[in-house]
Every structure is written in structure tokens, then in C-alpha cells.
Amino acid sequence: MSTDTTARKYKVLGTRPIRHDGVDKVTGRAIYTADLQLTGLVHGQVLRSPHPHAKIKSIDTSAAEKLAGVLAVATAADFPDLKDKIANLGEGSVNLAHLGANVLAHGKVLYKGHAVAAVAASSPHIADEAIRLIKVVYEPLPAVTWVLDAMKADAPLLHEDLRTDSMGKRGDRPTNVATHLHFEKGDVAAGFEQADVVVEREFRTASVHQGYIEPHASTAHWNSDGHLTIWTSTQGAFTARQQTAELLQIPVSKVTVVPCEIGGGFGGKIAVYLEPVAAVLSRKCGRPVRMTMTRTDVFEGTGPTPGSFVRVKLGAKKDGTLTAAEAYLAYDAGAFPGGMIGPGCMCIFSCYDIPHAVVDGYDVCNNKPKTQAYRAPGATQAAFACEQVVDELADKLKIDPIELRLKNAAKEGTRRVDGPVYPRVGLVECLEAARSSDHWKSKLTGKNRGRGIAAGFWFNIGLKSSCAANVNPDGTVTLTEGSTDIGGTRTSIAMQLAETLGITAEDVQPHVGDTDSVGYTDVTGGSRVTFATGLAAYECALDIQEQMRHRAAILWECEAAKVTCTDGVYSANGKSMPFKELAANLTHTGGPVVGRASVSPEGSTNAFGVHIADVEVDPDTGKTTVLRYTSIQDAGCAVHPSYVEGQMQGGAVQGIGWALNEEYFFDERHTMRNHSFLDYRMPTALDVPMIETIIVEVPNPTHPYGVRGVGETPIVAPPATIANALHKATGTRLTDLPMSPPKVWKAIS
């Protein structure tokens, strides 16, 4: 179900054309990295650490090198020295030594599955055999995987050079704390004094993985002229290009990254893993080298989202007005600094207008794979905590949870604890849509059942995007854009070009360019693509429109300033021509028309969502069944409503998995025991009901069509929503993720 709250203003936006790459995807014709055949292709394989923490005493690759069919062997020694090198990579600065040591371990292994060495061989089987011939002598070290344990004074230390003290400065002694963030607003002590009710609770979440269906895959060819070409599964071709170039210390212009189709990323395919290793192997053997991961490699060797500890304290008056908030967050960084603590701290209180608030956040290294972004990274853990405390306040104050949230909802002018002041946002409208939804108004009866509600927020990002477009003589337009297409953005970008030019979505043929064929474009992430690359398409259309006005002026022998363009129809002096007809008449006006644009929009697009869940708990097993689930979200402008709904549904299902089942299960040796999809249970279609969706459209004032990002917000609210529903069903508040059957059974027994 979808209800658009605004009337149709546009001809193309808001319709549901068939996606341009649909046929290729459903017929299996689309080329994913592992499908790619190249002449002379050889196969790479990675040797991974069996220890969660160990010194590497020595690596002996001589036996592997002697094996017939082995073409190259690589270790960290094949990379340039990256000590103290920092690179600015689109979304922030990156410590290259850490990035490089994650790609191939440098001196120490920091998690089980950490890459140690790699080989290239004429067949994957020989590569597997060669890997086993590499002799690594380790000196095992004590390990730590729980974030609070890693913060203890006597914890095993991952990095001798980390010295973060309690104020975030460089302290005197080594620590696993990489960062301490502190945000403050108003007078928190005074705020809590004004409160009639105060609730404080602690929450814990386990590591969970993005679970993209396509494992990482990369093919690299280092040509004899020194030019490196990489075909890879990545969320950002330019980001992969820059990371690889920086790790190899070569200019970005010596690297071409060709983004193949991508089978999911959710934030987990931004950092490079295989790309630089395949490159080094190719440089050594002169052949294109293909590397692919198994599912176990993906779980053990690539980044999950942080496990976390969060403590939230909220104070409210009797009428429900929130007076003060306090939060303490400690998130896994995993093996290297640079976790998701920042957005966790930014998002935890972002749904509410709270006069006094303080947030302290800690990014903590421990012996897990380096954490990576996972759909609204860090926000789900924070919302799991905050939204349960809000729920408890509503219970205690006997105020309807929607009314309590409406009373305190962030709106235009609200200042977040981390600083920014909201422009026009749509949380109030989402809460109102929830209140008037069929789901909320319906009755839920029966034993062991409960209904929960929670809000979620993600700030979304802008960053840089480029487009180029060419007008065909039949009035269609080819569009090259730089954003890899994970969720249908070829179409949502093309639709914005079409709307602006006054043609149909089918009249635009969108293509994702490689890094040589399109202007710099940041990563597909942060819910930015339909917003920012769509904005580039809009600007590109304006560039074309301006040229078309001049062409019409030539045809009609008048001044260009006289030519107007309305709904794609060009007019002057009583003559008029629609875009397509004008396109067919360009031949004698100066030839083809080519448009281009690059954008770097400031600020964020702020998307809010509200989720409602009905659950039923089996008291004998603790198993939770989701009976009904509704996701409500402000999309600003739902460019292609089916894709918005798809994002809302997909995020909800991932969030339900995170809420009820998913976790990295570590044994006492800090080894993940459930590193397959058989044991790491993600929800299937049989596990969840049809996710109902209600799209709210409160136009984003910073985009010409009001577009907001929509991809990440859907995963923020589900664990809190399910927890609040479980509380209603069981009378017990569950504070640890996942709320798996054993934990629920234990809580209710």
C-alpha cells in the first residue's frame, strides 16, 4: 500500500516506469565482476589469519612460488610504506597505513580472517593449493571482542600508537579507544531537574553483517604502460580508484575503475579489500588477476556494523515535554579506528526537540573485522536505545506513544545536539500518517501479542556528482552518470532528466560510466544518489535546455532570449516545437547537443520514518513472529514510488533480521562460529509479512523537485519497533540485540 500525500505535480516523477536495466537483470545478461572474461585471466586467492590476534613472526612464500602454475605471490611487503599517510577520501580522511594493513596484514593480524598473503595462479585450484604452502609463523596474543571489555585498562591492546584519553585528546598510555566524541546543548543537569519522570536504561547490540548477496569480487590488470584497470563490485568507482591509487602511491589518473553490476552493498562495498591485492598480483605477473570471496571470507574478512553498548537517560514533564537527554555510546571500531560512532552520536536524539542534551561516544578497537558502514551506519543501534526509553516514558506518563513523539518532534528550526538546525522536515507528517494509518487504527487482539511503534532518522549526505548527456536525433537522450546503481538509481536519475526536458523516462537511456568516462562522482551511499546525482541530471537538463533554446532561435531566425521553454515545448514568435521535434532538426543549427553538469550540494536532506509492528511471541520457545509491519517515511518527492517502497521494505526486513536473529556468534577463542548463510540466519520471504508502506512527501527545500534520500532511514526504527512491540506482548523490555528466541524465552520465563 502506498499513499502519496501530495497531489501529482509532475509528469514523470511519481510514475513507475520499468527500470532501464530490468531486462538485463532478469535475463542474467547483466555483467557482474565474476562474470567477466578477459584474455589471459588468472586467479587470485587470499591466505587469511586463523588467529584473532597475533604477531606475524615470518612469512615464507618460497614453496608456494615454486608450485607449477603459480604466477605471483604478494604480501604487505609489496606495498609502499604508508606510515603516517592520510588521504582525504570523499566522506572523510582515511589513515592509509590502517587501510593498507587491513588489505594485507602488516606485522600483526587483528582478527580471524585478516588477509595475510595472496597468490595468483593459472587456476583457482592451484591458487588454493599455493595458499596452503605459504608458511606463516604467528605469536598468538590475547584477544578481545566485546566493546566494554576492550575499553578496560587491562584489555589486550591492538595498536600501540592509540592514546585517546577521556576527553578525546592524546593521552599518556596506550588504549583501544580511537575517538571520544562529545556533543552538548543547553544545561543538562538543569534539564533533568525540570523533569517529572526520568528513565535510564542500558542496551547492547551484536555485530551484524550487511549480507549483500554478491560476495566481493575484483579483477585487476596492470598494463605494461603502467596503467591499472580494475573491474570491481563497488559502491563507488571513484572511491575505489582513489583508495587503490593511494595505497599503491600512484596517481589516480593511472587507475581506471570499471564498476560492474553490484549485487548489494549497503555500505559494505565502499572500502577496498581485493582491488589493491589483485593489482599488485597483476603488476607482478603481467596478467589480469581475478579475485572473489567466499561467503566465509565475506563474514570474517569484511566489515560488519559495530556491536555496541548504549546508555540513554531521558527526562520529561508530566505533559510529556522532554526536558533533558543524556547518552553514552561505545561502538566497535573493529580492527582499525574509524567506526560508526560519529553518526551514532549525531542521530541518537535527532528525532526530538530537546532543550538540554549531552552525548558521549567512544570508537573502540577490538579483534573483529574493521567495521564498515551498514545502511544508516550507527543510527539503528542508537535508535534501539533511545526509542525504547521514549516508549517507556510514554508508558509511565500514560501518553499515547505517537502523541508523546508528536509533542517533542523535531521540526523546521530544531537544533540537533551536534549542531545543525533543521530546514523543513517531515517527522510530524510521518507521525500523523502513522496515527491515521489503517494499521494503527486496527485492533490487535490475542494472547502474547503486542504492537510497537518507533521513529527513525538519517541525515543523508550530498557530496559530489557528475553527469553528461547527449541528444539523439530521434529526440531521446543518452545519459552517462557516475553513480553505481544498486537500487534502481539509473532510472530515478533518468526520470529527473526526463522531467526537466519534458520527455518520458523511456526516452532517456542511462548508463553508469567508468572513472574515465564520467566526471568525479562520490560513492553510492548516504542516501545521496537520487538526491545529488539526480540534481546533476537536473542541472544537465538545464544545460541542454539552454542550448536547445539557442538552436530554436537559429531555426526561427530570432534572438535566443525570445525563445521560451515550457513543459519541454520551445516557443517564439508564434512558432513552437516540442523537444523531440527540435531534436530532429538540429542538423543545420550547429550539430549535436551535449549537456553536462557537476554538483556538490551543501548540507543534508534529513529523512524521517515511523514504523509500526505487531508481533506475537511463542511462550514455549521465545520465537517472535511479526504479524503486521508498516513503514512510513518522508521521501520528499518519491521519484519512482516502487523504488521508495522497495527501499522501505528492504530496510524493514533487514532491521527485523537484526532485531530478531542476526549476530556474529563468537566462541571463547573469539572465532565466529556462524560464518555461512545457513547459520547466520537472515530473514527470508517466509519469515516476514508483506511490509506495508506509506510514503509521505514533504518537499526538501534544497532540491528543485523536493527529493530527499530514502535508502537508509528504513533500517533505523525496526529493532526499536519490534522491542517496543515485544514489551507490549510480554510486559518485558528486551535490551539486547538480537532478541532471539533463547533471550526472549529467558526474559519471559
With binding defined as CB under 8 A, does residue 35 bind a second copy? Answer: yes
Nearby residues of 368 by Cβ (< 8 Å), 6 or more positions away: 111, 145, 207, 304, 307, 332, 334, 335, 664
Give the nearer residue to a second copy in terms of CB position, either 21 or 392.
Answer: 21
Give the nearer residue to a second copy in terms of CB position, either 332 or 543.
Answer: 543
Beta strands in 19-91 (DSSP E): 42-48, 54-60, 70-75, 86-88
Give the nearer residue to a second copy in terms of CB position, either 6 or 509.
Answer: 509
Give the nearer residue to a second copy in terms of CB position, either 21 or 300.
Answer: 21
d(CA 219, CA 209): 24
Q: Report, in Å, the least distance between residue 129 CB and a second copy.
A: 27
DSSP letters, 147-202, are: HHHHTSTTSPPS-TT--B-TTSSB-SS--SEEEEEEEEES-HHHHHHH-SEEEEEE
Q: Report, in Å, the least distance between residue 464 CB and a second copy.
A: 4
CA distances from 279 to 100, 157, 248, 540, 700 (A): 13, 32, 9, 35, 42
* Region of 91 on the Ramachandran plot (φ > 0 left; ψ -120 to 50 alpha; else beta): alpha
Give the nearer residue to a second copy in terms of CB position, either 339 or 513.
Answer: 513
* Residue among 283, 288, 274, 281 at smallest CA distance from 225: 283
Q: Report, in Å, the least distance between residue 12 CB and a second copy.
A: 17
With binding defined as CB under 8 A, does residue 205 bind a second copy? Answer: no
**Torsion angle of alpha carbons 249, 255, 261, 264, nearest 10°?**
10
With binding defined as CB under 8 A, does residue 80 bind a second copy? Answer: no
Residue of the chain from 58, 224, 445, 749 that contacts a second copy (CB under 8 A): 224
With binding defined as CB under 8 A, does residue 251 bind a second copy? Answer: yes
With binding defined as CB under 8 A, does residue 119 bind a second copy? Answer: no
CA atoms within 13 A on the CB side of 735: 15
For the chain, give percent helix, strand, coil, nearest 5. 30, 25, 45
With binding defined as CB under 8 A, does residue 591 bind a second copy? Answer: yes
With binding defined as CB under 8 A, does residue 37 bind a second copy? Answer: yes
Residue of the chain from 7, 8, 39, 447 that contacts a second copy (CB under 8 A): 39
Grid cell of 549 as nine digits: 533554446
Q: Which helix (H) or strand (E) holds 583?
A: helix 579-583
Give the nearer residue to a second copy in terms of CB position, either 517 or 625.
Answer: 517
d(CA 668, CA 65): 36
Give the nearer residue to a second copy in terms of CB position, either 454 or 505.
Answer: 505
* Interactions with a second copy, residue window 499-538 (CB under 8 A): 507, 509, 511, 513, 515-521
* Interactions with a second copy, residue window 425-464 (CB under 8 A): 463-464
Q: Report, in Å, the least distance between residue 242 CB and a second copy.
A: 8
Q: Report, in Å, the least distance between residue 279 CB and a second copy.
A: 16
* Residue among 241, 216, 178 at smallest CA distance from 300: 216
Q: Which helix (H) or strand (E) holds 125?
A: helix 124-133
Give the nearer residue to a second copy in terms of CB position, either 227 or 673.
Answer: 227
The mark string for 15-34 relative to a second copy (x by CB under 8 A, - otherwise) is -------xxx--x-x-----
d(CA 706, CA 535): 10
* Residue among 235, 226, 216, 215 at smallest CA distance from 279: 226
d(CA 565, CA 579): 9
d(CA 428, CA 610): 10
* Interactions with a second copy, residue window 464-493 (CB under 8 A): 464-468, 470-474, 476, 478, 480
Q: Report, in Å, the least distance between residue 96 CB and a second copy.
A: 16
Q: Report, in Å, the least distance between residue 38 CB and a second copy.
A: 9
Peptide bond into 174 cis (omega under 30): no
* Interactions with a second copy, residue window 699-738 (CB under 8 A): none
With binding defined as CB under 8 A, does residue 595 bind a second copy? Answer: yes
Q: Report, in Å, the least distance between residue 102 CB and a second copy.
A: 23
Backbone angles phi, psi at 294, to 5 degrees: -85, 175
Q: Report, in Å, the least distance between residue 531 CB and a second copy.
A: 14
Beta strand 115-121 pairing with 70-75 = antiparallel
Count residues near a second copy (CB under 8 A): 54
Q: Report, in Å, the least distance between residue 253 CB and a second copy.
A: 4
With binding defined as CB under 8 A, does residue 599 bind a second copy? Answer: yes
Q: Report, in Å, the least distance between residue 125 CB and a second copy.
A: 22
The mark string for 541-580 relative to a second copy (x by CB under 8 A, - otherwise) is ----------------------------------------
Give the nearer residue to a second copy in terms of CB position, either 24 or 679.
Answer: 24
With binding defined as CB under 8 A, does residue 282 bind a second copy? Answer: no
Give the nearer residue to a second copy in terms of CB position, either 105 or 597.
Answer: 597
CB 491 within 8 A of CB 511: no
Q: Report, in Å, the least distance between residue 378 CB and a second copy.
A: 25
CB 223 within 8 A of CB 250: no
CA distances from 508 to 18, 23, 514, 529 (A): 12, 16, 19, 17
Give the nearer residue to a second copy in terms of CB position, either 466 or 605.
Answer: 466
Stretch of 143-151, 487-495, 597-605, 691-699 contacting a second copy, by CB under 8 A: 597-605
With binding defined as CB under 8 A, does residue 236 bind a second copy? Answer: no
**How many degrees, rounded to 5, is the angle at CA 558 between CA 552 and CA 559?**
90
Residue of the chain from 598, 625, 642, 674 that contacts a second copy (CB under 8 A): 598
Give the nearer residue to a second copy in terms of CB position, either 232 or 465.
Answer: 465
Helix axes 275-285, 237-248, angle to 10 degrees: 60
Give the nearer residue to a second copy in terms of CB position, either 114 or 241.
Answer: 241
With binding defined as CB under 8 A, does residue 92 bind a second copy? Answer: no
Give the nearer residue to a second copy in terms of CB position, either 590 or 701.
Answer: 590
With binding defined as CB under 8 A, does residue 585 bind a second copy? Answer: no
* Residue among 67, 18, 723, 139 at smallest CA distance from 390: 723
Residues that bind a second copy (CB under 8 A): 22-24, 27, 29, 35, 37, 39, 88, 223-225, 227, 242, 251-253, 463-468, 470-474, 476, 478, 480, 507, 509, 511, 513, 515-521, 587, 590-600
